[in-house]
Amino acid sequence: MAVQDVFRAVVDFEDEKVPELVRAELDGGTPVETVLNEGLIAAMDFVGKKFSEGEMFVPEMLMAAQAMKAGLEVLRPLLAQAEAQPKGTVVIGTVQGDLHDIGKNLVAMMLEGAGFRVVDLGVDVAPSRFLQAAQENGAQIVCMSALLTTTMPRMGETVSAIREQGLPLKTMVGGAPVTEEFARRIGADGYSEDAPGAVELARRLVAA
C-alpha cells in the first residue's frame, strides 16, 4: 500500500519528501482522509509509542512532527474543502510569565498530527486570553505549559477562571516541574508528562 510510503517518510524524518509523497497519493486517487489517518496520524502514533518505550527521544519526535506538519500543509486546504471534522479544538499556550515553548510546540504539533484543530497562543499567555481564545474558537480543551515553578500558579488561576464562568472546557497541564499531584490540586482535568501522553489524554477528554 503506497500510503505506507507517507507513513515511513514521517517516521524517517524526511520532511522534504513527505509533501511529494502526499501529493503523489492524492494524484493517484487516494482519499484525503486515508492519507491523513493511515499516513500522517498513524505515523505520529507510532512515533509516540516508540518514545514511550524509550526507543525515540525528544529531538527525533520533533523531527517526525516537522515531517508530519509538512504533509499536513498539503492536506489542509483539501480537508477544509471536504469539511473533514477535526477530532476537537485545543487552545494551547505557555502560561503568563513563562517564555519556554519547545515542549509546548511539540505537544501542539503532535495534537495536530492526531487530527485536532490546534489554536497556539504562544508564550506568556494570561488566564483571560486562554478563556477568550477558547470561547472564540469553540474549543473543548485548554492546554497549558510551564517550565518555571514561579509561573505554575497561573495554571491554577486559569482553571479557576474557567470554573467560575461555568465554561464547558476541559483543562490539561504539563511541563517539567508540573506533576499529577499538582494537576489534581488545582482541579485540572488531566496531566501528561510528555507529548504522546498529551495526545492520548486529549482523545480521552474529548470522548468523555
> Domain range for residue 109?
89-207
pTM of the model: 0.82
Domain termination site, one of 38, 61, 81: 81
pLDDT of residue 2: 79
Residues 99 and 197 in one domain: yes
Residues 151 and 167 in one domain: yes
Residues 113 and 190 in one domain: yes
pLDDT tens per residue, range 40-63: 989 999 998 998 899 998 899 889
The count of domains in the chain is 2
pLDDT of residue 77: 86
> Secondary structure of the chain: what % helix, strand, coil (to 5)?
60, 10, 30
pLDDT of residue 9: 96
Residues 109 and 202 in one domain: yes
Residues 143 and 186 in one domain: yes
Domain termination site, one of 46, 64, 81: 81
pLDDT tens per residue, range 124-182: 999 999 999 999 999 999 999 999 999 999 999 999 999 999 999 999 999 999 999 99
Going by pLDDT thresholds of 50, 70 and 90, the confidence category of residue 205 is very high
pLDDT of residue 88: 94
Q: Which of 53, 130, 140, 62 is nearest to 95 (CA)?
A: 130
- The DSSP code sequence of 80-133 is HHTTPPPS-EEEEEEBTT----HHHHHHHHHHHHTT-EEEE--SSB-HHHHHHH
Q: From CA 141, how far away is CA 71, in angstroms rounded?
A: 25
Going by pLDDT thresholds of 50, 70 and 90, the confidence category of residue 1 is low
The CATH number linked to 24 is 1.10.1240.10
Q: Which of 15, 27, 124, 34 is nearest to 79 (CA)?
A: 34
pLDDT tens per residue, range 67-110: 999 999 898 888 777 777 788 999 999 999 999 988 899 899 88
pLDDT of residue 81: 76
Identify the residue with better confidence: 18 or 113.
Answer: 18
pLDDT of residue 150: 96
Q: How many CB atoms lie within 10 A of CB 177?
A: 12
pLDDT of residue 199: 92
Going by pLDDT thresholds of 50, 70 and 90, the confidence category of residue 13 is very high
Residues 52 and 116 in one domain: no
Residues 48 and 116 in one domain: no
Going by pLDDT thresholds of 50, 70 and 90, the confidence category of residue 117 is very high
Q: From CA 98, how far away is CA 154, in angstroms rounded?
A: 10
The whole-chain average pLDDT of the chain stands at 93
